[in-house]
């Protein structure tokens, strides 16, 4: 195993331990308010919760054979933004088995290309092309499409945004659609 994968696994393991021990991990949101990254709300989400939400379109049902512990994973669109939702049997499974994979594909240091991508399925959907104006496609520099993720109950939701705070807000806006009226 190369050093980069070992480093990612180490950081993700430490993060999972801290998240499990503390119950939540916060990220910044607009206006300085904290958004809880991890919330055990005892809810068991399904893709139908998202499919039934007004304006949400399910795009792809990913093959989860190589994603440990996952029951389902979907690519979604809401408000012209991409999302990925992964579902586990329980909140504990989502945190224990999904955090390392979530950490690896989000944020500024995300691994979205090359041999170090932890889960191959859907990897093209998790990256975006960033290039200077008026440059050819061949000069594309790939970066993470999803800057942030949240864990709510048994679901890990990955969200787009120009900045971390925007991504957290987009996650919360989509989750709010699944709440009973």
- Going by pLDDT thresholds of 50, 70 and 90, the confidence category of residue 108 is confident
Going 87 to 89 to 94 to 97, the CA torsion angle's sign is negative
Give the model confidence (pLDDT) of 130-140 as tens digits: 766 666 656 67
Range scoring the smallest mean pLDDT among 19-33, 54-68, 128-142, 160-174? 19-33
CA distances from 1 to 10, 61, 106 (A): 13, 30, 21
Q: For residue 80, is pLDDT > 70?
A: yes
CB 10 within 8 A of CB 119: no
Return the domain boundaries, the chain.
3-176
- The DSSP annotation for 57-106 comes to EEEEE---TTSTTEEEEEEEEETTEEEEEEEESSHHHHHHHHHHHHHHTS
Strands (E), the chain: 26-28, 34-36, 38-39, 57-61, 70-78, 81-88, 127-130, 141-144, 146-152, 155-160
pLDDT tens digits along 5-15: 444 444 444 44
pLDDT for the residue numbered 113: 85
The pTM of the whole model exceeds 0.95: no
Percent of the chain at pLDDT > 90 equals 58
């Amino acid at each position: 195993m190369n050093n980069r994968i070992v480093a990612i696994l180490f950081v993700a393991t430490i993060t999972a331990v801290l998240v499990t021990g503390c119950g939540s991990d916060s990220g910044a949101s607009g206006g300085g308010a904290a958004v809880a990254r991890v919330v055990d709300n005892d809810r068991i989400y399904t893709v139908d919760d998202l499919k039934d939400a007004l304006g949400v379109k399910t795009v792809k049902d990913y093959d989860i054979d190589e994603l440990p512990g996952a029951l389902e994973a979907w690519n979604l669109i809401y408000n012209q933004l991409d999302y990925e939702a992964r579902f586990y049997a329980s909140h504990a499974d989502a945190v224990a088995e999904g955090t390392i994979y979530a950490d690896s594909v989000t944020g500024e240091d995300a691994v979205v290309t090359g041999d170090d991508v932890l889960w191959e399925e859907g990897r093209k959907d998790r990256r975006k092309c960033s290039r200077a104006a008026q440059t050819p496609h061949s000069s594309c520099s790939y970066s993470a499409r999803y800057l942030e993720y949240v864990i709510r109950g048994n679901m890990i939701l990955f969200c787009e945004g120009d900045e971390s705070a925007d991504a957290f807000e987009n996650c919360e806006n989509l989750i709010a659609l699944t709440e009973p009226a």
